[in-house]
Amino acid sequence: MENEKQVILSVRDMVKYFPIKGGLLGRTVGHVKAVDKVSFDLYEGETLGLVGESGCGKSTLGRSILEIIEPTSGTVQYRGKDVLHLKGKEKKEIKQKMQFIFQDPAASLNPRRTLEQILLEPFIIHKMLTPEERRKRVAELLEIVGLSSYYIHRYPHELSGGQKQRIGIARAIALNPDVIICDEPVSALDVSIQAQVINLLEDLQKELHLSYLFVAHDLSVVQHISDRVAVMYLGKIVEISDCDNIYSRAKHPYTISLLSAIPIADPEVEKERIILEGDVPSPANPPKGCRFHTRCFKCMDICKSEEPELIEQEPGHFIACHLYPKGEN
Ligand code: SF4
C-alpha cells in the first residue's frame, strides 16, 4: 500500500475464530469466524474509519490487534516490530504506545475507584513517574479532556455518560500513545454529547499526533472524522479508500448499499435506497465464494464459488469484488 505517510501499524492476515462447543463432552464442533484474514495499514497521524453492520467483526478486529482477546493467527507490526511475538520489557514498552477506548464508558471504569485512582493505575502498572509526578499528570489529564479537578475524588457513577467517556479518553492518552483504537466511542452517548467527544478526539489527534483506528457503525460520524475508510462484511474487509472516495465513488455493492441507507437532510433531494435482501449469514457458516453473494444485487455465477481478493484498483483504493478483476477498472 503506497502512501507518502509512514505506516505506524501494519496488520496482516489477522484471524479470530471463536470455538463452538457442543455435545455432552463440550467438544469443539465448529468455529465462529469473526475475523478472517484481515490486512490493512494505519498511517501516522491518520484516522482510519472501520465500518460495517453489527456482528461483522469490526470490534473483534480492534480487540484482537491489541490482544484484549487473543488472536487466532496473523501479525501486527508497530513501526516495523512484530508486536504479537514480542515478550517482556520490549512488549510492555510497545503496548504503552497502543491504547484502546471502549464503547461503554460506564462498564470500562471500575465503579469502586475514584477518578484519581483510575487515572493513576497506568503509571503504577508501568512503574512510571514518582507519586508526586503521577498526581500532577492526573490533574493535567483531567484538564486536557476538559474536566475540572473538582471531579478528581469522585466515582464514575457520579459522572454523566460524556464525562465518563472523557475519563476513558484520559486513561487512553495517559502513557503518551501513538495509536488509539476507538471502539464505537460515541455510540453509547446522547447525540448532543457525541459531537463534543468527537471534537475532543480530533483536537487530541492534532495536539498529540495520534493515529486512530475508529470503529463505528454510524456512517455520518465516520465520514466526519476519517481520512480513510475500511468497510467490513462478515469478517472480511471488502473495500478501503480515502474517505471522500468511499462516500462519493464507492465501488463494492455492499458499500454502495450501506451508503444508500444514510438519510439526507434535504427533503428536495431524492435518493435511491438499496434494500439488502435476506439476513446477514452466520459467521459460523459463511457462504462459499464471495461472502456477500447471498444478498448482493450484482451477484454473478463466479461469486458463488470463488472468493474475490482485495485488489488495489486505483492508488489507495482496494476492492474485493469480481466486478473489478485485477487490472480492470
Ligand atoms: Fe456482489 Fe459478486 Fe461482487 Fe460479491 S463478488 S460483491 S457477490 S458482485
Q: Minimal CA–CA distance to 205: which of 232, 187, 182?
A: 182
324 belongs to a structural domain: no
pLDDT for position 5: 83
Rounded to whole angstroms, how far apart are CA atoms 286 and 109? 36
Query: Ligand 1, closest atom to CA 302?
Result: 2
147 belongs to a structural domain: no
**Low-confidence stretches of the chain (pLDDT beneath 50):** 1-3
Query: Ligand 1, closest atom to CA 290?
Result: 4
268 belongs to a structural domain: yes
103 belongs to a structural domain: no
pLDDT for position 106: 82
232 belongs to a structural domain: yes
Copy the grid coordinates of residue 313: 484498483
276 belongs to a structural domain: yes
**Which residues are within 8 A (CB) of 320 and not within 5 positions of it... i.e. 6 or more apart?**
236, 237, 238, 239, 252, 290, 308, 309, 310, 311
164 belongs to a structural domain: no
Domain count, the chain: 1
Ligand 1 centroid–CA 270 distance in Å is 26
Ligand 1 centroid–CA 263 distance in Å is 25
CB atoms < 10 A from the CB of 243, how many? Answer: 19
Note the pLDDT tens digit of each residue in 19-67: 999 887 889 999 999 999 999 999 999 999 999 998 899 999 999 999 9
pTM for this structure? 0.92
User: β-pairing, 27-43 with 317-319?
Assistant: unpaired
Q: Is 212 in the pocket of ligand 1 (CB under 6 A)?
A: no
**Domain span including residue 79:** 7-97+175-319
pLDDT for position 266: 65
DSSP 151: G
- Which spans in 126-274 are helix H? 131-144, 161-173, 191-208, 219-225, 243-249, 253-260
Q: Which of 234, 313, 323 to mutate to test the pocket of ligand 1 (most atoms within 8 A of CB)?
A: 323
**What's the CATH number where 183 sits?**
3.40.50.300
Q: Is 319 in the pocket of ligand 1 (CB under 6 A)?
A: no
110 belongs to a structural domain: no
